[in-house]
Amino acid sequence: MTEFPTSLAGMLRRLEQRAPQSRIELGLDRVRKVLDRQRLDLAGTRIVSVAGTNGKGSTVAFLESIAARAGLESMAFTSPHLVAFGERFRLCGQPLPDDEIAGALGAVERARGDIELTWFEHVTLAGFELAARRCPDWLIAEVGMGGRLDAVNAVDADVSVITSIGLDHQRFLGRTRAAIAREKCGIARTGRPAIVAEKKLPDGMLQTLEATGAQVSLAGRDFDWRWRSEKLDIRLGSRMIGGLSPGLAGRHQGGNAAAAAAAALALAPALSDREIADGLAGAQLAGRFQRVAVAPDVIVDVAHNPAAARVLAAQLERLPGDKVAVFAALEDKDVAGIVRPLAGAFRRWFVANLDVPRGLRAAELIERMRGLPVGGRPEALESVADALAAARESCEADRASKCAPAGGPAHTIIVFGSFYTVAAALQALNQSNSD
């Protein structure tokens, strides 16, 4: 029998050598063949799959927290991770042990035999392996890309959630919202609840969902939400839960919270208002408008497409003081669409090379920004760490010269553009703190 590395680092090196992360190949045939060989028993676990352009991670976090407040054991697997690979596999909100994850990756390697899996397919199957071993009450699986042909969709979910439909991954999913919606609708199952948080449905989306035979629950019709000052009210059918304080920042989280509450009730109809309210309040998620340093303040946000950039811009309007951008992105992203809603938000832009597969060089990124009213000349840096250091030095220099505005934070650095951008910034901050 072939021996596999016992450490997670060793297993990930082996996986990367065989199937680099940069390779993307959608389809379910390979995954289903390996699943048949794994012979996993998930009969005792209720499964919810979460798809969407934006809001998937937040919805998963809300569901995890609701489960915890209800005394239920949840397992979530999400992508990508920010700092440690184990963030992808959480039991009751905490990463599973590295050796357990390595064991699951090895089990998939043994099961696949001569079947060539992509990196993401292999990792997804490891998630199902872990769920079968742990037997949680709920398995909350975040779809990686699209839905219909994503590896997560190889297992039938008891409840499906579609958070939003935006223009992202168009090379793989289609050029229009309607085409992308059709792909995401592929996670719905006949006779099972499908929760849709998108209020402005693309053409044909409702018809596509109804054709699946799923029990469709639409935002604005079957459930809804509204903000009253800083409090959130949610309607779930005829049931009202008011005065809520979601744990994740931003008014856009109202839709994600409502969708999570609707999905939770579909999984467990006996949940109380208090369990739902406490669950929404207790949700936590790294990288979503998260303050990670002070003096100067540093906020990281994984906004990487136009819809997420518009949300970020709305949050920045409520933030006092000057803002400075640290920006890096992948080559297949709509840079102009990301930058345009943020064009007037920043005093300075520090633009970084992103040293990952598909990462843009800073010079190319600045070229794509040309002609947009960004305010000041963007400065190119070798890395996200360098850009963050330059941004902090700039803020310190302004503070020393007494250019800071009175009241509130003098300057806030906003790091955004990609999960990879945020990950690099967090690693740089961690290194700085260690030093």
- Tokens coding 105: 């990756």
- Tokens coding 289: 């408008």
pLDDT in the model for residue 407: 47
Indicate the pLDDT class of residue 85, thresholds 50, 70 and 90. Answer: very high
390 contact partners, CB below 8 Å, separation of at least 6: 350, 379, 381
Q: Is the per-residue pLDDT at 431 higher than 50?
A: yes
Q: Is the per-residue pLDDT at 241 higher than 70?
A: yes
For 170-221, the pLDDT digits (tens) are: 787 788 999 999 989 999 999 999 999 999 999 999 999 999 999 999 999 9
Indicate the pLDDT class of residue 434, thresholds 50, 70 and 90. Answer: low
pLDDT in the model for residue 2: 64
Quote the radius of gyration of the chain (alpha carbons, Å).
Answer: 22
pLDDT in the model for residue 240: 97
Inter-axis angle of helices 273-282 and 56-69, to 10 degrees? 130
pLDDT in the model for residue 5: 79
What CATH number does domain 290-434 carry, 3.90.190.20, 3.20.20.70, 2.40.50.140, 3.30.70.100? 3.90.190.20
Share of the chain above pLDDT 90, in %: 77
- pLDDT averaged over every residue in the chain: 92
Q: Among the residues of 70-204, which ranges form H helices?
A: 98-112, 119-134, 170-173, 177-184
122 contact partners, CB below 8 Å, separation of at least 6: 15, 19, 105, 108, 109, 112
pLDDT in the model for residue 435: 60
What CATH number does domain 8-282 carry, 3.40.50.1110, 3.40.1190.10, 3.30.160.620, 3.40.50.920? 3.40.1190.10
pTM (2 d.p.): 0.88
pLDDT in the model for residue 169: 73
Indicate the pLDDT class of residue 340, thresholds 50, 70 and 90. Answer: very high
Q: What gap in Å lies between CA 133 and CA 135, rounded to an integer?
A: 6
More confident residue, 11 or 24: 11
Coil, helix or strand at residue 359: strand
DSSP code at position 201: P
Other C-beta atoms closer than 10 Å to the C-beta of 50 total 31
What does the pLDDT average to over 251-277?
97
Residue type, 152: V
More confident residue, 155 or 20: 155
Taking alpha carbons only, the member of 134, 162, 149, 127 closest to residue 49 is 162
Indicate the pLDDT class of residue 63, thresholds 50, 70 and 90. Answer: very high
Indicate the pLDDT class of residue 229, thresholds 50, 70 and 90. Answer: confident
Q: What gap in Å lies between CA 113 and CA 135, rounded to an integer?
A: 26
For 267-302, the pLDDT digits (tens) are: 999 999 999 999 999 999 989 899 999 889 999 999
Decide: 420 and 356 in contact? Cβ < 8 Å: yes
Q: What gap in Å lies between CA 406 and CA 403, rounded to an integer?
A: 9
Structural domain boundaries in the chain: 8-282, 290-434
pLDDT in the model for residue 207: 95
Q: What gap in Å lies between CA 118 and CA 428, rounded to an integer?
A: 30
